[in-house]
Structure 1
Amino acid sequence: MLSPEQRAKWRSRLFSVPTLFFLSAVITWPFLAEFEAFEVFYQFSRSHENWELDEIAMLGFNLLIALGLSVWYKSRRIKRLAEYRELERNRADVNARHDPLTGLMNRRAFYEVVENLSAEAQDASGPRYVALVDLDRFKPVNDVHGHAAGDATLIAAAERLREEAGAGGVVARLGGDEFVLVFGPAMDAASVERAARRILRSVEQPIPFNGQSILVGASIGLVQWDQDRGLAEMMRRADHALYQVKAGARGSFAWYDEDADRQSRDRAEIASDLKHAVENHDIVPFFQPIVRIDSSELVGFEVLARWTHPTRGNVPPFVFIEIAEDSGLIGPLGMALLRKACIHAAAWPEELSISFNISPIQFREGALVENVQKVLKETGFKPSRLTIEITESSVIDDFEIARKKIDAFKALGIQIALDDFGTGYSSLACLRSLPFDRLKIDRSFVTDISEQRQSQQIVSGILSLASGLELDVTAEGIETADDLTYLQGLHCSLGQGYFFEKPVPAEQISWLLETEWSDNHVMSQPDVRAAS
């Protein structure tokens, strides 16, 4: 036991100025670190070198208290920092998984949720259905009313879609004006269709914005969720169904069609292969003879595109030509085909011409005339031996532009024919406005004309019109001797068809010129050849 005098001595030392100073320094050490605290402590220790043992012990005791307080303070600070970081992490995760504008799940979160639903679907009692929704007429909203109006439209659409998802349903914004819904498990196909109709009506309702009414619509692609095919395939099918809607009647919905999808994928594969075929010059010209109907004299050939695919075999022209137009390949394909045709035809007798079809999309190309002129110059083929065939749809949009191109062709010495005459809506306007050299009567009016009274009247009228305008006429699709005889009676000038010859490759032209048309008349049994 310490005596009162000793206790007073320790108390005085415990609360002495040096001790309190040192305790304060330790406690405030973290705050003084940036203010040369070590130097302060060093000076303090130098000034108290004569301390006794009891004083040093008291200093250690105070140091332990100070260290404890410092540790407690640091731990609290670290804990608060960890809580703050966790809060920020959660906030970042929410922002990364949700669309900041509509509050819906974004694409990433949607895929995660659907993957979880897919894993749980083994215990589901029935199928689930997916709707891919795309807003119609949304782009003009931004262009006309501004992006604030566009944001208001997306927010309103998101709210309307939430109401139709059903219990257990999922709604997300995939990006832009595209949304997706996974309907609740209690909804069957009929319920989904009713919900789709409600969505269409709901989205069409005016959206108020700054005293104005914004009007948009929606197109919906529906698909049944097939667990065995995976999420990516499900979304691809929904997207295909939506594409079918937007390619036809917008503002409606359509279920995924497997047959249509198969055709679409087949078309996509052909488009990919066609690109390589054009680059490798695999599209080759075939030639079908054009003859004078009254004498069967050979006057030239129509150039027709043919493509033999390495695995598909012969791909019909109506298939790959349309794909070439849609994919932007028609220009390179057409010029490559014309170049090959001119190279072959340059070696034939000069009285033989070639007729070459220009598609409507190709006709609209700004450099068309220059490209054709370049091909003629490179191949040495005379422009006077070339006839360009164009359809009415090529010129109907703008007669003035069409006239300039036709005049440019004619200035080079190239003749112009109006193809498929009689199948359009404004053929007389074309003849009145544009300087054609020849008309081609569509095969639908020529084949079996001897038995088709309506076709007889149409062809007779076309021939009378052409005679008054001093235009040559080519009748395509002559299949039988009866067709030929009837056209001879109408004094049609030119004809082509299987009765004379089917389209043949360039390698067979020399044989035809040396045999069948060696004396400028057809062989003695054309009906036998036609049957082949």
Structure 2
Amino acid sequence: MTSPADTNGTAARAPAGTHRAERDIVALGIIVAALILFVSSGATVLPRTLHHLLFGGVPADAVLSNALLLNIALIIFGWRRYAELTAEVRERRKAEDAARQLAYTDPLTGCLNRRSLDGAITALVEEARSQDKAVALLVLDLDKFKRANDLHGHQMGDAVLVETASRLRAILPEEAIIARIGGDEFTCALPFEAAHPETVELMAEQLLVTLSEPISLAGHAVEVSGSLGLARSDTPDIAPQTPSPQVASQLQHFADLAMYYAKSCGRGRYAWFEPTMEKELRFRAELETGIREGIPRGEFVPYYEKQIDLDTGRLTGFEMLARWHSPRYGLIAPDVFIPVAEEIGLIAPLSECLIRQALIDAREWDPSLTLSVNISPMQLRDPWFAQRMLKLLVETNFPAHRLDIEITETCLHENLPVVRSLVASLKNQGIGISLDDFGTGYSSIAQLRSLPFDRIKIDRSFVSTLDSCQDSATIVSAITSLGKGLRLPLTAEGIASDAVLAELRKLGSFKGQGYLYGQPQPASAVRTALAEQGLLAPALTQPAPALVSPPVSSAPSTAPEPDQARRA
């Protein structure tokens, strides 16, 4: 395959209007003039000098002889100077070519860089149009590259990038453009027959398979994969008369959108650009802005879902669920905004804001009622999380024994020692800990025994189909037996019908929650309902005893990654 610098000629071609002199014309002129004088003066002086030396007689004219010698010296000096200047010019040209190569190519991989990419794509589009072909643009982003880079070091990360570029060159055709535009992102462009886009799709599939193969370097096997976004120059979104430079810019934008869409669908796949992707990206950007602005404005509010003792029918507490009162979109469920907040690193301040308000609301309830709150796995990566929770309890004067923190199973596999330490810290202050969504992850009995959980919550996906699916019934029965054996009380989520409730009562004693007992409600509605039932706290004559909390560090928590959405 041709080198990236020669792919479109950009790196090897001098800028227009630049004159590159390869020789010193002045020095060359002096040498020529000296040679002419040497010939003219030597024709007179040399014969007379030889005749005088051989046969005697009148010597050559002294002035002409001195002029001849001076002429010879001038020729020698001029030639030497000319040779030096020519060598200097040659070295300068090499340095200029090397600088131009560095300016237009990526020094690590040898691919084109962002600066030269636009011109290369523009030239390829013009050439493809002249041949009645289309241009396909591929944007590749490596998945799990940052983790590999952090785990094995930057030298290993550089080696992965070099190997990735090598694999791209091995699969893409010779006329393809390959560029590294920064970090772990590559852009490739190639011409293809517009009537046969399947050739591009086949190539994309080959790339994904090749990129997913482990890279063995320095005794380590590094596993990365890639997400590909594809766009074509003959798409209806690009007018046929659009100038080539503008086509190049639009293609890159469209392929970027397709790549982000491929990532959102599970990574390790490719996707062609579609107009709806741009709308989705714009909506995503609006969500991010809305979350950033909505937290300080108090747009995120807690809603509360009842928790019932199934044996007695008595109300035992509430689970807090997040809702967003967006001034633009109205009431938004958590499965929409929670994953976005986790990805942009705002889940911790958002969660703490909601928990603080929930503690203030629950302070008005009867002391027998508990408050359950869900915690994102991102928050448990913060070593100061326990101290932050204790600080909230102190600020709101809420008793620790009435608070129950729910941890999902996925938290147990990311950093079990840290989770164990945080759980122990929370338990020591009297806070209850529940294992949420049990049955959907990979918790082992050993983990249940090693972590001091107070309760297991059976995931709603099993409970809601308990009366209609034998597999769900078997799983719930097994979890019930496990809870009894470990002496851990159980909560069943997702109770939506009397039939499900009847099946649960056959299996044992549970707490339950679900739409059978009503939809989640805001604090005002909950307060009104509790007042009617006489379940509001009596007027407080003294503030609740304050908890002793260690100093809270201002150190930020570790960077979050996307995780599963909270349930509505």
Give the TM-score range, shorter chain.
0.5 to 0.7
**Per-residue deviation at 1:298?**
1.7
Amino acid at match of 1:125: D
Tell me the residue number matched to 2:51: none
Structure 2, unmatched stretches of 5+, are 1-81, 240-245, 537-568
Q: 8 Å contact 1:244–1:254 — kept in the other structure? A: yes
| Greater fraction helix | 1
Q: 8 Å contact 1:445–1:458 — kept in the other structure? A: yes
Tell me the residue number matched to 1:357: 374
Tell me the residue number matched to 1:332: 349
Q: Deviations over 1:117-160 (max 9, x none)?
A: 66788766343212235678795999586799689758856864
Amino acid at match of 2:117: F
In the alignment, the residues of structure 1 paired with residue 274 and residue 513 of structure 2 have an alpha-carbon distance, to the nearest angstrom, of 41
Q: How does 1:186-335 map to 2 (within 5 A)?
A: 188-196=196-204, 219=226, 220-225=228-233, 226=235, 227-228=238-239, 230-243=247-260, 253-259=270-276, 262-335=279-352
Q: Deviations over 1:216-256 (max 9, x none)?
A: 98844322124347433321222344455667787765433
Which gives a bigger RCO, structure 1 or 2 (Cα 8 Å, sep 6+)?
A: 2
Matched residue SS, 2:325: strand
Match among 411, 414, 432 for residue 415 of structure 1: 432
Label 1:255 to 1:142 Cα distance change in 2 as closer, same or farther (>3 A).
farther
Q: 8 Å contact 2:366–2:535 — kept in the other structure? A: no
In the alignment, the residues of structure 1 paired with residue 216 and residue 304 of structure 2 have an alpha-carbon distance, to the nearest angstrom, of 63
Amino acid at match of 2:230: L
Label 1:171 to 1:429 Cα distance change in 2 as closer, same or farther (>3 A).
closer
Whether 1:112 and 2:119 are equivalent positions in the alignment is yes
The size of the alignment, in residue pairs, is 437
In the alignment, the residues of structure 2 paired with residue 456 and residue 305 of structure 1 have an alpha-carbon distance, to the nearest angstrom, of 30
**Per-residue deviation at 1:90?**
7.9
In the alignment, the residues of structure 2 paired with residue 142 and residue 494 of structure 1 have an alpha-carbon distance, to the nearest angstrom, of 47
Tell me the residue number matched to 1:45: none
In the alignment, the residues of structure 1 paired with residue 141 and residue 209 of structure 2 have an alpha-carbon distance, to the nearest angstrom, of 14
Q: How does 1:423-434 map to 2 (within 5 A)?
A: 423-434=440-451
Q: Deviations over 1:445-493 (max 9, x none)?
A: 3235344444344334433433343333222222223333443444424
Tell me the residue number matched to 2:364: 347
**Per-residue deviation at 1:354?**
0.8
In the alignment, the residues of structure 2 paired with residue 242 and residue 445 of structure 1 have an alpha-carbon distance, to the nearest angstrom, of 35
Amino acid at match of 1:348: W
Q: Deviations over 1:381-439 (max 9, x none)?
A: 11111111112222244444333222211211111122222333325333222222222
Tell me the residue number matched to 1:20: none
Whether 1:484 and 2:484 are equivalent positions in the alignment is no
In the alignment, the residues of structure 2 paired with residue 154 and residue 445 of structure 1 have an alpha-carbon distance, to the nearest angstrom, of 43
| TM-score normalised by L of structure 2 | 0.64
Tell me the residue number matched to 1:467: 484
Structure 1, unmatched stretches of 5+, are 1-76, 521-532
Instruction: Note the aligned Cα RMSD (angstroms).
Output: 4.4
Match among 169, 173, 178 for residue 164 of structure 1: 173
Moved more, 444-453 or 428-437: 444-453
Matched residue SS, 1:479: coil
Amino acid at match of 2:116: A
Q: 8 Å contact 1:154–1:177 — kept in the other structure? A: no
**Per-residue deviation at 1:339?**
0.3
Match among 183, 186, 197 for residue 190 of structure 2: 183
Label 1:131 to 1:141 Cα distance change in 2 as closer, same or farther (>3 A).
farther
Tell me the residue number matched to 2:38: none
Q: 8 Å contact 1:221–1:256 — kept in the other structure? A: yes
**Per-residue deviation at 1:265?**
4.4
**Per-residue deviation at 1:337?**
0.6
Sequence identity, in percent? 35
Tell me the residue number matched to 2:61: none
Tell me the residue number matched to 2:15: none
**Per-residue deviation at 1:380?**
0.7
**Per-residue deviation at 1:377?**
0.4
> Which protein shows a greater Rg?
1
In the alignment, the residues of structure 1 paired with residue 165 and residue 504 of structure 2 have an alpha-carbon distance, to the nearest angstrom, of 67
Amino acid at match of 2:409: E
Q: 8 Å contact 2:463–2:495 — kept in the other structure? A: yes
In the alignment, the residues of structure 2 paired with residue 148 and residue 312 of structure 1 have an alpha-carbon distance, to the nearest angstrom, of 44
Q: 8 Å contact 1:357–1:390 — kept in the other structure? A: yes
